[in-house]
Amino acid sequence: MSDAHLTERPAADGPEPIDLTDEPIQLSNRDPEDAPERRATRSRRRRVAWAGAAIIGLAGAAVLGAAGLRIVQQKDADLATPDRVAGLVRDDSDRARSTSDYLRSGFAANIDLDTSFGTVYRDPADDKRPVPLFGGTAVLWQPERDLDTLFDLLADETGEVAGLREVPAGRFGGVMKCGNTSGEGGDFAVCGWADHGSVVMGMFPGRSIEDAGRLFRSIRKEIQTRG
């Protein structure tokens, strides 16, 4: 570009020229001397953030550790069907065997089990209150979900399971639930338990949910063991 293109313009024709001084241009109103304090504040905040992340991580590890411990404690379950249990007597008649085989087969077809069983117990004080039991053993990662699935399957066969609610599971832990449903003989209570090593359901005609839950816990205490 030649000097012919550079012409002098009177100052009145445009804005005042910017006066570039030897002083540094300051981009904020903060005193530069405050920088070390700001760095220290940021450092403290980072330490707090890391501490919070560590606490959350430890809490998560504790939850996973507790879940893993429960699985280890519960996975090696065994179930027996003794002649007598909780004041009931095992019914070995052909009719009872047919019923128990039907329940066991239907149960095992809907959940992957290592072992399965089905049996019927009768109440010596009242022949109209038999207690069919069916279930099995397996490592269950989500016991409550599997138990709820079985209640849903039962509802498909008998109709809605009404008033389903959690009840105390007893010393073996896990989850236990009871509700009411109906069959050919009328309404009856139904209960189920599941832990990380076993899942069992029982039917209790002629009993309330509360009575069924108590009897079911007593049965569990006598038929379940852990290795």
Using an 8 Å Cβ cutoff, are 189 and 162 in contact? no
- pTM over 0.75, yes/no: no
Question: Which residue is listed with tokens 């998560």?
Answer: 60
3-state secondary structure of 98: helix
Q: How many CB atoms lie within 10 A of CB 111?
A: 18
Q: What would the pLDDT profile of 20-52 be if each residue is shown by its tens digit? A: 344 443 434 555 555 555 555 555 555 555 555
State the pLDDT at residue 45.
Answer: 55
Q: What would the pLDDT profile of 179-227 be if each residue is shown by its tens digit? A: 999 877 678 999 999 999 999 999 999 999 999 999 999 999 999 998 7
Q: What is the DSSP string of 103-134?
A: HHHHHHTTS--SEEEEEEEEETTEEEEEEEEE
CATH (residue range 77-226): 3.40.1000
Q: What would the pLDDT profile of 151-181 be if each residue is shown by its tens digit? A: 998 888 777 899 999 999 999 999 999 999 9
Banded model confidence at residue 6, pLDDT cuts 50, 70, 90: very low
Q: In this structure, what DSSP letter does residue 83 have?
A: S
